[in-house]
């Protein structure tokens, strides 16, 4: 069956409607394989729409990503992109080969920005971040932990309350920010710039005030983030790390040993906040909650970074709740106390199960009463 542009749009809409109707975050489908949806963190088998089942998967993929992109995909064996579907919903698309067959991984992006109040993060910390004039803010965590959503919410708030130039380098653009009080310039790698590194080289000449770099993948992007922060810009970036300690170590280790002393000094001076987050499914599978570790740059934290004493940071975070800091275990324990997850389930997401147990121990004084 040969597809017209109009027909292909209708068929793709049938597929994407599965995501919306199921309240799913992700869709996974491969040529000749089953279609799965991820709902509240769990994969569920879904039925392929009959209208689509008669269409060649190659042809459907061609219409999903475009004919020119399909030719490039066949050559490179990978494709990353984003598009608007169903009249306004936006999806992030990864197309790849597995065992010689084409496969899709599609993530549905919320059609509206989450208000900061609904993120599940400390609202005071979010407000303080949005008021920063300069410095580096890192949002870290595993794939699918909501990093992009958190950053989009923060930028959306800034866009409505400040009069500055927000500049982003993204691969691909996921959330589209229209200029409000701020002027917003979003550049997509492969569309608006040849490469991430090319965009980094020119960003300072484009008069930004606030810069979103996306993921810091290597030494070059980490150095660029520090340089932007040093030169008076509020800079946002992400890392796939499991906590503040891991984040600091990852950045330092990306540089040669001869440079690491200088990098520690630059990081201590410019790093403002590290938020590490994960989305934890509820016991009843009816939703998920965001759990986070938050580290704020204080005099003590800055000294630990300079002196290479990252291992002491977790203790400092635990005892600095008055500064807005919190540990992942404290966040998990709060979910248990709210009866959204069990203590056993909390242990599956805990970076330190022994430490987590202490949140549920009855103090000796209370046991003796």
Buried b (16+ CB within 10 A) or exposed e, 11-46: bbbebbebbeeeebbbbbbbbeeebbbbbbeeeeeb
- C-alpha span between 363 and 247 (Å, rounded): 33
202-212: per-residue pLDDT in tens?
999 999 999 99
- C-alpha span between 72 and 340 (Å, rounded): 46
296-321: per-residue pLDDT in tens?
999 999 999 999 999 999 999 999 99
pLDDT at 366 over 60: no
- DSSP 8-state code for residue 107: E
Model confidence at 53, in pLDDT bands (50, 70, 90)? confident
Instruction: List the single range of 210-214, 249-253, 354-358 with lowest mean pLDDT.
Output: 354-358
77-120: per-residue pLDDT in tens?
999 999 988 878 899 999 999 999 999 999 998 878 989 999 99
Domains of the chain and any CATH numbers? 5-109 (3.30.450.90), 116-326 (3.40.50.300)
The long-range contacts involving 181-190, CB below 8 angstroms and separated by at least 24 positions, are 182/158, 182/210, 184/159
120-158: per-residue pLDDT in tens?
999 999 999 999 999 999 999 999 999 999 999 999 999
Instruction: Quote the pLDDT of residue 369.
Output: 41
Average pLDDT (357-363) is 79
Q: Is the pTM of this model over 0.85?
A: yes
- Residue 157: exposure state from Cβ atoms within 10 A (0-12, 13-18, ≥19): middle
* Positions of E strands within the chain: 26-30, 35-39, 42-46, 78-85, 89-98, 101-109, 135-140, 165-170, 183-188, 210-215, 234-239, 271-281, 288-296
Instruction: Quote the pLDDT of residue 360.
Output: 87
Model confidence at 9, in pLDDT bands (50, 70, 90)? confident
Instruction: Quote the pLDDT of residue 365.
Output: 43
CA angle 195, 174, 132 (to 5 degrees): 85
If you search the block for the tokens 């330190």, which residue do you land on?
352
Average pLDDT (67-71) is 94
Query: How confident is the prediction for the chain on average, in pLDDT?
Result: 93
Beta-ladder partners of 185: 167
Average pLDDT (32-51) is 94
Residues 6+ apart with CB under 8 A from 314: 243, 244, 245, 327
């Amino acid at each position: 069956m040969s597809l017209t542009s109009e027909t292909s749009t209708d068929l793709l809409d049938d597929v994407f409607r599965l995501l919306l109707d199921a309240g799913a975050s992700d869709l996974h489908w491969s040529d000749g394989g089953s279609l799965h949806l991820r709902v509240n963190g769990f994969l569920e088998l879904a039925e392929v729409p009959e209208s689509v089942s008669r269409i060649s998967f190659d042809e459907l993929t061609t219409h999903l990503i475009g004919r020119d992109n399909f030719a490039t995909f066949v050559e490179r064996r990978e494709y990353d992109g984003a598009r608007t579907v169903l009249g306004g919903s936006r999806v992030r698309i990864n197309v790849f080969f597995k065992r010689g067959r084409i496969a899709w991984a599609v993530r549905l992006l919320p059609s509206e920005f989450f208000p900061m109040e609904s993120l599940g993060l400390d609202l005071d910390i979010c407000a303080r971040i949005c008021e920063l004039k300069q410095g580096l803010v890192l949002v870290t965590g595993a794939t699918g932990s909501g990093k992009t959503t958190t950053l989009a919410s923060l930028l959306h708030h800034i866009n409505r309350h400040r009069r500055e130039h927000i500049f982003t380098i993204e691969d691909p653009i996921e959330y589209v920010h229209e200029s409000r009080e701020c002027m917003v310039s979003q550049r997509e790698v492969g569309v608006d710039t040849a490469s991430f590194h090319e965009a980094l080289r020119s960003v300072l000449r484009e008069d930004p005030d606030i810069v979103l770099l996306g993921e810091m993948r290597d030494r070059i992007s980490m150095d660029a983030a520090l340089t932007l922060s040093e030169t008076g810009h509020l800079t946002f970036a992400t890392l796939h790390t499991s906590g503040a300690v891991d984040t600091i170590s990852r950045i330092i280790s990306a540089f040669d040993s001869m440079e690491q002393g200088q990098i520690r000094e630059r990081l201590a001076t410019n790093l403002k906040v590290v938020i590490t987050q994960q989305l934890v499914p509820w016991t009843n599978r009816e939703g998920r909650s965001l759990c986070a570790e938050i580290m704020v740059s204080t005099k003590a934290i800055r000294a630990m970074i300079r002196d290479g004493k990252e291992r002491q940071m977790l203790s400092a975070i635990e005892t600095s709740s008055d500064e807005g800091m919190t540990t992942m275990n404290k966040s998990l324990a709060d979910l248990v106390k709210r009866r959204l997850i069990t203590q056993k389930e909390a242990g599956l997401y805990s970076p330190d199960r022994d430490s987590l147990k202490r949140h549920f121990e009855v103090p000796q004084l209370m046991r003796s009463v």
